[in-house]
Chain A
Amino acid sequence: MPAINETLGQYSELFMLLAAGTYTVAFIAFAWDLAKSSKTFQAVDLKAAASSTSEKVSVAAGRVGAALSGADAGGPAGRAERPTSGLTHAGGTAAGDMKYTAERRVPARVAVALTVLGVLIHGAGVVTRALGAGRVPWGNMYEFLTTGAFVAVAVFLITLIRRDLRFLGTFVLGLAIIMLVAASVSFFTPVGHLVPALQSYWLIIHVSIAVLSSALFTLTFAMSVLQLLQSYRQKNLSAGRNDNLAFMSVVPNALSLENLSYRINAIAFIGWTFTLMFGAIWAEKAWGRFWGWDPKEVWTFVIWVVYAGYLHARATRGWTGTRAAWLSIVGYACVIINFTLVNTVFNGLHSYSGL
Chain B
Amino acid sequence: MSESVKAKKKSPSAGSIKAAEGKLQQAKSDAAVPVLGFKGMLRWAWTQLTSMRTALFLLLLLAVGAVPGSLFPQRAANPVTVTEWIKNNPATGPFLDALQMFDVYSSAWFSAIYILLFISLIGCVTPRAIAHYKAMKSQPPRTPKRLSRLPEYGTLALPADAGIPASKAINDAAGLLKKRGYRVDVRDADGALPSLGAERGFLKEVGNLVFHTSLIGVLVSVAIGGLFGYSGQRILVEGETFVNTLVGYDQFTPGTNFQSSSLQPYSVRLDKFQATFDRESPKKTGQPIDYTAEVTTKENPDAPEQKEVLKVNDPISLGGTSLYLTGNGYAPVVTVRDGDGNVAFQGPVTAKVQGANYYSSVVIKVPDGTPDQLGFNGFFLPTAFESEQGISFSADPALANPQLNLDSYYGDLGLDEGTPQNVFELDVKNLTQLNGRKLEAGGIVLGLGQTATLPEGKGSITFDSVKKYIGVDIHHNPGQLYALIFGLLAVGGLMVSLYVNRRRVWVRTGTHEDGRTMVEYGLLARGEDHRLAGEAAALRELFAREWNIPESPEPPAPRTVSSSTSKDQ
Query: Which residues of A are interface residues toward B (Cβ below 8 A)?
Result: 1, 3-4, 6, 44, 47-48, 51, 55, 66-71, 73-76, 78-80, 82, 84-89, 95-97, 99, 101-102, 190-197, 199-200, 202, 259, 262-263, 266, 269-270, 273-274, 277, 280-282, 284-295, 298-299, 301-302, 305-306, 308-309, 312-316, 318-319, 327, 334, 342, 346-348
B518 within 8 A of partner (CB): yes
- Chain A hits for B508, CB < 8 A: 68
- Chain B hits for A66, CB < 8 A: 148
- Chain B hits for A75, CB < 8 A: 148, 153-155, 520, 554
- Chain B hits for A74, CB < 8 A: 554
Taking a contact as CB atoms under 8 Å apart, the answer to whether A76 and B530 are in contact is: no
B192 to chain A, nearest CB (A): 11
Q: Provided the pairs A195-B288, A286-B313 are in contact, do residues A309 and B60 lie with their beta carbons within 8 angstroms?
A: yes
Least CB separation from B59: chain A residue: A309
Taking a contact as CB atoms under 8 Å apart, the answer to whether A76 and B281 are in contact is: no
Taking a contact as CB atoms under 8 Å apart, the answer to whether A277 and B491 are in contact is: yes
B438 within 8 A of partner (CB): no
Interface residues of B in 48-78 (CB under 8 A from A): 52-53, 55-56, 59-60, 62-63, 66-67, 69-71, 73-74, 76-77
- Chain A hits for B291, CB < 8 A: 196
The contact of A266 among B56, B149, B498, by CB within 8 Å, is B498
- Chain B hits for A55, CB < 8 A: 565
Taking a contact as CB atoms under 8 Å apart, the answer to whether A76 and B148 are in contact is: yes
A41 to chain B, nearest CB (A): 11
B348 within 8 A of partner (CB): no
The contact of A79 among B62, B147, B313, B558, by CB within 8 Å, is B558
Taking a contact as CB atoms under 8 Å apart, the answer to whether B554 and A76 are in contact is: yes
B324 within 8 A of partner (CB): yes
Q: Provided the pairs A281-B484, A288-B326, A292-B77 are in contact, do residues A48 and B154 lie with their beta carbons within 8 angstroms?
A: no
20 contacts between A and B (CB under 8 A): A44-B569, A67-B520, A68-B520, A71-B157, A73-B554, A74-B554, A82-B151, A88-B565, A95-B562, A97-B559, A190-B281, A202-B313, A259-B528, A285-B313, A290-B483, A295-B70, A306-B60, A312-B52, A316-B56, A334-B63
B510 within 8 A of partner (CB): yes
- Chain-A contact segment, one of B87-95, B180-188, B472-480: B472-480
Size category, B interface: 35 or more
- Chain A hits for B474, CB < 8 A: 288
- Chain B hits for A273, CB < 8 A: 490-491, 494
A151 to B63, CA, bound (A): 27
A247 to chain B, nearest CB (A): 21
Taking a contact as CB atoms under 8 Å apart, the answer to whether B153 and A79 are in contact is: yes
- Chain B hits for A3, CB < 8 A: 280
Taking a contact as CB atoms under 8 Å apart, the answer to whether B60 and A71 are in contact is: no
B388 within 8 A of partner (CB): no
How many A-B residue contacts, CB cutoff 8 Å?
Answer: 224
Extra pairs beyond A51-B568, A293-B77 (13, CB < 8 Å):
A3-B280, A73-B554, A79-B153, A84-B558, A192-B278, A193-B278, A266-B498, A302-B63, A312-B52, A318-B53, A327-B60, A346-B71, A348-B70
A228 to B562, CA, bound (A): 24
Taking a contact as CB atoms under 8 Å apart, the answer to whether B530 and A99 are in contact is: no
Q: CB-defined interface of B477-496 with A at 8 Å, one 1/0 digit per residue?
A: 10010011001101100110
Taking a contact as CB atoms under 8 Å apart, the answer to whether B231 and A195 are in contact is: no
B137 within 8 A of partner (CB): no
- Chain A hits for B76, CB < 8 A: 292-293
B561 within 8 A of partner (CB): yes
- Chain B hits for A318, CB < 8 A: 53
Taking a contact as CB atoms under 8 Å apart, the answer to whether A288 and B324 are in contact is: yes
- Chain A hits for B71, CB < 8 A: 346
- Chain A hits for B284, CB < 8 A: 190, 192-193
A345 to chain B, nearest CB (A): 10
Taking a contact as CB atoms under 8 Å apart, the answer to whether A68 and B569 are in contact is: no
Least CB separation from B147: chain A residue: A67
Least CB separation from A331: chain B residue: B63
B8 within 8 A of partner (CB): no
Q: CB-defined interface of B503-516 with A at 8 Å, one 1/0 digit per residue?
A: 00000101010100
- Chain B hits for A97, CB < 8 A: 559, 562
Least CB separation from B77: chain A residue: A292
A49 to chain B, nearest CB (A): 11
A51 to B278, CA, bound (A): 73
Taking a contact as CB atoms under 8 Å apart, the answer to whether B312 and A197 are in contact is: yes
Closest 4 CB pairs of A and B: A295-B70, A86-B562, A288-B475, A88-B566
B222 within 8 A of partner (CB): yes
Taking a contact as CB atoms under 8 Å apart, the answer to whether A67 and B148 are in contact is: yes
Taking a contact as CB atoms under 8 Å apart, the answer to whether A289 and B231 are in contact is: yes
Taking a contact as CB atoms under 8 Å apart, the answer to whether A4 and B495 are in contact is: no
- Chain B hits for A302, CB < 8 A: 63, 66-67
B322 within 8 A of partner (CB): yes
- Chain B hits for A263, CB < 8 A: 528, 530
B442 to chain A, nearest CB (A): 37
Taking a contact as CB atoms under 8 Å apart, the answer to whether A73 and B63 are in contact is: no
Taking a contact as CB atoms under 8 Å apart, the answer to whether B148 and A78 are in contact is: yes
A67 to B315, CA, bound (A): 70
Q: Provided the pairs A6-B281, A88-B566 are in contact, do residues A342 and B70 lie with their beta carbons within 8 angstroms?
A: yes
Least CB separation from B324: chain A residue: A288
- Chain A hits for B554, CB < 8 A: 73-76
Least CB separation from A75: chain B residue: B155
Least CB separation from B321: chain A residue: A288
- Chain B hits for A86, CB < 8 A: 558-559, 561-562
- Chain B hits for A274, CB < 8 A: 491
Q: Provided the pairs A67-B148, A193-B287, A319-B56 are in contact, do residues A199 and B562 lie with their beta carbons within 8 angstroms?
A: no
- Chain B hits for A277, CB < 8 A: 487-488, 491
Taking a contact as CB atoms under 8 Å apart, the answer to whether A315 and B527 are in contact is: yes
Q: CB-defined interface of B310-335 with A at 8 Å, one 1/0 digit per residue?
A: 01111100000010101000000000
Taking a contact as CB atoms under 8 Å apart, the answer to whether A196 and B63 are in contact is: no
A182 to chain B, nearest CB (A): 20
- Chain A hits for B530, CB < 8 A: 259, 263
Q: Provided the pairs A48-B569, A195-B289 are in contact, do residues A293 and B69 lie with their beta carbons within 8 angstroms?
A: yes
A274 to B148, CA, bound (A): 42
Taking a contact as CB atoms under 8 Å apart, the answer to whether A316 and B53 are in contact is: yes
Least CB separation from B63: chain A residue: A305
Least CB separation from A194: chain B residue: B289
A200 to B512, CA, bound (A): 71
A242 to chain B, nearest CB (A): 24
- Chain A hits for B311, CB < 8 A: 196
B105 within 8 A of partner (CB): yes
A280 to B487, CA, bound (A): 10
A62 to chain B, nearest CB (A): 11
- Chain B hits for A308, CB < 8 A: 59
B146 within 8 A of partner (CB): yes
- Chain B hits for A68, CB < 8 A: 155, 193, 508, 510, 512, 518, 520
